[in-house]
A and B are shown apart, each in its own frame.
Chain A
Amino acid sequence: MAIKDKIYNPEMECMSREELTKLQGERLAKTVKLVYDNVPTYRERMDAKGVKPEDITCLADIVKLPFTEKTDLRDQFPFGLLASPKEKIVRIQGSSGTTGKPIVSGYTEGDVEVWTEMVARALSAAGCTNEDIVQVCYGYGLFTGGLGAHQGATRLGAMTIPMSSGNTQRQIMMMNELGSTILMCTPSYAAYLGESIREAGLVPGKDIKLKAGVFGAEPWTEEMRKQIEELLGIDAMDIYGLTEIGGPGVAFECFNKHGMHVNEDHVIAEIIDPITEQQLPYGTPGELVFTTITKEGQPMLRYRTHDICTLYNDPCPCGRTHVRMGRITGRTDDMLVIRGVNVFPSQIEGVLVGIEGVAPHYVLVVDRVNHTDTLEVKVELTEEMFSDTVSHIEKIQKKITEQIKSVVGIMAKVTLVPPKSIPRSEGKAKRIIDNRKL
């Protein structure tokens, strides 16, 4: 074990379960009152269930509360779910598409502070101190990755390099010249960097001073962890988060690397049966549901992530008492995470039906080539699209590619296939072929 795990906030992170349950109950009651008084959507839903804020007095009462979905954030875009007045909001973060309805989350100064500490805890667990040089290669912008990582590293007093994403040669040059010790990016980019470093003839441990990496924003495997650790000569740690709940740092790994500690003093994690919506015990896989209990700007009650995982509460040798979430093993819906971007087949379908002459017969093929996710959209050719000239067909192909980029935020390869070649199935069509080995 090369890294030195340091617990950033022992008082909170190592609190006894009894105390934590009490704290969560108090904070939950306060959050419920806040949203009931300020957010019409929550008030209507609680009223519909016959639940009043005073009915929520302890953690166990959480099951009385209604669920929240991603569609609620879209429907209430941009400010419909704010529980604080706009003048208290100091930050907006959100999803990356440039058209279509995005989702955004408003943060108060206090929310940014909580988020910052959550990432600082994750970095501290990876051994980060003020002596470290942290290279952030997550994109900076609406996406929470870049700024979230940046704030956390700055909080620890580390020398923070806001590289943002892309330009691998420049990333490696800075890493080499500045002597970066901690890397923050997606795991697939970390693997790609590792290979590029070796191709450039640089030697990890000598030319590259990295000792640890905190990687997230997309699912990865133990095999990939080993590969990254060997390529870069580092400890590779997992971090989890989502914009709706506050961004990266909702959960993070300690040096034991056996699941991510959920920052339970700020969020309540539940596992439910996605069909019956009943709470499931620790150790049982199911759908992960989060409730924020310190957020002021845009709190979330029982937000359904649709991620499938398991929560573990057996004692962790690191001393942290917060429950750990295992790797995300799937989704309860058809959402895809491609290069860290959430993609729903319905978004692609929306693009296709919106272009004249294009029919919504399509299949999405996802793969991972050289550690980078690829999306291929196979679209059936129609009479209107076909012509004897290549330029006419390519023009439509380009239009589809551009609009997908604009709506979803990622570059897809659009392939035209013969008419009727995509199987028409009864009921739910099989729209996704995911060839990634995760």
Chain B
Amino acid sequence: MYIKQISVFLENTKGTLHEMMQLLGEHQINILAISLADTSGFGIVRLVVKSDDIDKALKVLADAGDMARVNDVVGIRVPHQPLGLATVLGQLDAADISIEYAYSFCRNTSDDAVIILRVNDAVKCAEVLQAKQVPLVAQADVDKF
């Protein structure tokens, strides 16, 4: 029901993102979605990769001395048109679910948009979305992207 997301800590210095991307690329790991959170002091890179690549990516990152971890995030499919995402966010808002951050996939197998949501309560969020018949995207779906 959820998507596995890898988060990696990045020092806020020149070239660190490039180095990390280079490293994953050299190990033939393709990135399906990426988001970079930057603060004045540090950065957090969030990535989604295919299931087969998750453990490999974690090992490569750990070997390079990076701090990384995996957690579940909610994936949804919304119509690729004005108010496509807003409608769903309105439903979540009404259910008192707040969004920590959101980003989208580089591409997917449909004409819809696939959005990743990090919410304060993933279980409740999934329930609300299912009730509202919003299509959820799970890690197994992502593997086909």
B41 at the interface (CB under 8 A from A): yes
Q: Are the CB atoms of B67 and A386 closer together than 8 Å?
A: yes
B49 → A minimal CB distance (Å): 15
- For chain A, give the interface size range: 10 to 19
- Per the bound structure, the CA–CA distance linking A387 and B8 in Å amounts to 9
With a cutoff of 8 Å between Cβ atoms, the chain A residues found around residue B141 in the complex are: none
Q: Please indicate the chain A residues that have their CB under 8 angstroms from the CB of B5 in the complex.
A: 388
Stretch at the interface among A41-49, A156-164, A337-345, A389-397: A389-397
**What distance in Å separates the Cβ of A245 from its nearest Cβ neighbour in chain B?**
40
Complex: A156 Cα to B71 Cα, angstroms: 70
- Among residues of A, the one whose C-beta sits closest to the C-beta of B12 is A415
Bound-complex Cα distance A418 to B65 (A): 8
Q: Evaluate whether A393 and B44 lie within 8 angstroms (CB atoms) in the complex, with A386-B9, A418-B9 already known.
A: yes
The size bracket of the interface on B is 10 to 19
A390 touches B41 (CB 8 A): no
Please state if A390 and B37 are interface contacts (CB–CB under 8 Å): yes
CA distance A72 to B105 in the complex (A): 63
B residues 35-70 touching A (CB-CB < 8 Å): 37, 39, 41-42, 44, 46, 65-67, 69
* B69 A386 Cβ-Cβ under 8 A: yes
20 A–B contacts, CB within 8 A, in A order: A383-B67, A386-B7, A386-B9, A386-B67, A386-B69, A388-B46, A388-B69, A389-B100, A389-B101, A391-B100, A416-B9, A416-B42, A418-B9, A418-B11, A418-B65, A418-B66, A418-B67, A420-B65, A421-B11, A421-B65
A318 at interface, CB cutoff 8 A? no
Q: Are B39 and A394 in touch, CB under 8 angstroms?
A: yes
Contact in complex: B7, A417 (CB < 8 Å): no
A388-B118, A389-B101, A418-B65 known; A381+B41 contact, CB < 8 A: no
Tell me the A362-406 residues at the B interface (CB within 8 Å). Answer: 381, 383, 386-391, 393-394, 397
Contacts of B39 in A (CB 8 A): 390, 393-394
A121 to B64, CA, bound (A): 62
Q: Give per-residue flags for A407-438: 1 if the beta carbon is below 8 A from chain B beta carbons, else 0.
A: 00000001111111100000000000000000
Find chain A residues with CB under 8 A from B65 CB: 418-421
Query: In the complex, what distance in Å separates the CA atom of A361 from the CA atom of B117?
Result: 34
Residues of chain A having any CB pair with chain B under 8 Å:
381, 383, 386-391, 393-394, 397, 414-421
Give B contacts to A, CB under 8 Å. 5, 7, 9, 11, 37, 39, 41-42, 44, 46, 65-67, 69, 71, 100-101, 118
Q: How far is the CA of A318 from the CA of B40 in the complex (A)?
A: 53
Distance (Å) between the CB of B70 and the closest chain A CB? Answer: 9
Q: A391-B100, A415-B41, A419-B65 are in contact. List 7 more A-B contacts (CB 8 A).
A: A386-B7, A389-B100, A390-B37, A393-B39, A414-B41, A418-B65, A421-B11
Q: Which residues of A contact B9 (CB under 8 A)?
A: 381, 386, 416, 418
CB-CB < 8 A to B37: which residues of A? 390
The 4 closest A-B pairs by CB, nearest first: A388-B7, A390-B37, A386-B67, A389-B100
How far, in angstroms, from A416 to B67 measured CA to CA in the complex? Answer: 12
Given A418-B65, A419-B67, A421-B65, the answer on whether A388 and B44 have CB atoms closer than 8 Å is yes
* Chain B residues whose CB sits within 8 angstroms of the CB of A394 once the complex forms: 39
A391 to B11, CA, bound (A): 16
Please name the residue on chain A nearest to B69 by beta carbon: A386
Which single residue of chain B is at the shortest CB-CB distance from A382? B67
A96 to B: closest C-beta gap in Å: 26
Most buried by B among A386, A388, A391, A421: A388
Asked if residues B11 and A417 are in contact (CB atoms below 8 Å), the reply is: yes
Taking each of B5, B41, B46, B101, which has the highest tally of chain A beta carbons within 10 Å of its own beta carbon?
Answer: B41
Q: For B101, list chain A residues within 8 Å (CB).
A: 389
Q: Which residue of A lies closest to B39 (CB)?
A: A390
Hey, which chain B residues are within 8 Å of A391, CB to CB?
A: 100
Give, as a whole number of angstroms, the nearest-CB distance from A5 to chain B.
49
- Inter-chain CA distance A309–B5, complex, in Å, is 58
Q: Which residue of B lies closest to A391 (CB)?
A: B100
CB distance from B39 to the nearest CB of A (A): 6
Q: How far is the CB of B98 from chain A (nearest CB, A)?
A: 11
Chain B residues within 8 Å of A415, by CB: 41-42
Residues from chain B with a CB closer than 8 A to the CB of A420 are 65
Residue of A nearest to B62 (CB): A419
The answer on a CB contact under 8 Å between B66 and A416 is: no
- Which A residues lie within 8 Å of B67 (CB)? 381, 383, 386, 418-419
Chain A's nearest CB lies how many Å from the CB of B132? Answer: 25
Q: Using Cβ atoms and an 8 Å threshold, which residues of chain A touch B66?
A: 418
Give, as a whole number of angstroms, the nearest-CB distance from A433 to chain B.
16
Docked CA distance A389–B119 (Å): 10
